[in-house]
A = this chain, B = another copy of it.
Amino acid sequence: MRELDETDLEILQLLVADARRPYNEIADAVDLSPPTVSDRIDRLKELGVVRRFTVDLDRSRLSEGVAVLVDLHVEPGRVSEVRSDVEDIDGVEHIFVTADGNVVFHARLRNGAIEPLLSGTLDTDAVREYDVRLLTDSAWHPEPRGVEFALECDECGNTVTSEGESSRIDGELYQFCCSSCQARFEEQYEELKQAA
């Protein structure tokens, strides 16, 4: 495989600024043909670098309600459960999980009361306490500034360089830092598959 290169980064920056930009315009900007740009974007999607094309909405112009930043102090061991419950709360825009086990989320709530919302959605035993802070402003800065590429080897976790390898197994694309990691991964995959 080939590592992501400067051209990929350029393409990403152009798409971040306007995801509906025609591919031939991108092609001009990066000195490639439109089909090649299309291929690269397909690969960026496959690699999971591009999660989706989407729209940045100004929610303050859309929805009533108060923007808040909520900090949940979660009981040990129940972080992922709480995190996925928070995903289901209406109006949640961003979720952060801290290394010390808090779940912080940014939401716009139509009825100011957060307490019934939380107790309706979360298992109250899982959250020791919480802080709610009103927000007066929030902004999203999607520019991939200062980005360095770092794809991880799916076998050992090391950085994948241009010497790396990739395989498509059962329709999924995997990447490896070297051929031995690749072989090892494929063996183990095969074993697991046999076992199942």
Contacts and interface: CB of A to CB of B under 8 A. Distances in A.
Number of copies: 2
Interface string A120-153: 0000000000000111111111101111111110
Nearest to A53: B19
Interface stretch (A24-32, A85-93, A163-171, A185-193): A85-93
A92 B147 CA distance: 11
Given A16-B54, A94-B138, A97-B135, 19 more contacts: A12-B57, A18-B53, A19-B19, A20-B53, A48-B58, A49-B61, A51-B57, A59-B144, A61-B151, A62-B148, A63-B147, A69-B98, A87-B139, A90-B145, A91-B145, A97-B136, A98-B136, A99-B135, A102-B133
Interface of A: 4, 12, 15-20, 47-59, 61-65, 69, 83, 87, 90-100, 102, 104, 106, 110, 133-142, 144-152
Main SS at interface, chain A: mixed
A137 B12 contact: no
A110 B69 contact: no
Nearest to A47: B61
Given A94-B94, A94-B106, A63 B141 contact: no
B51 A15 contact: no
A58 B44 CA distance: 10
A11 to B, nearest CB: 10
Contact of A137 (B92, B97, B139): B97
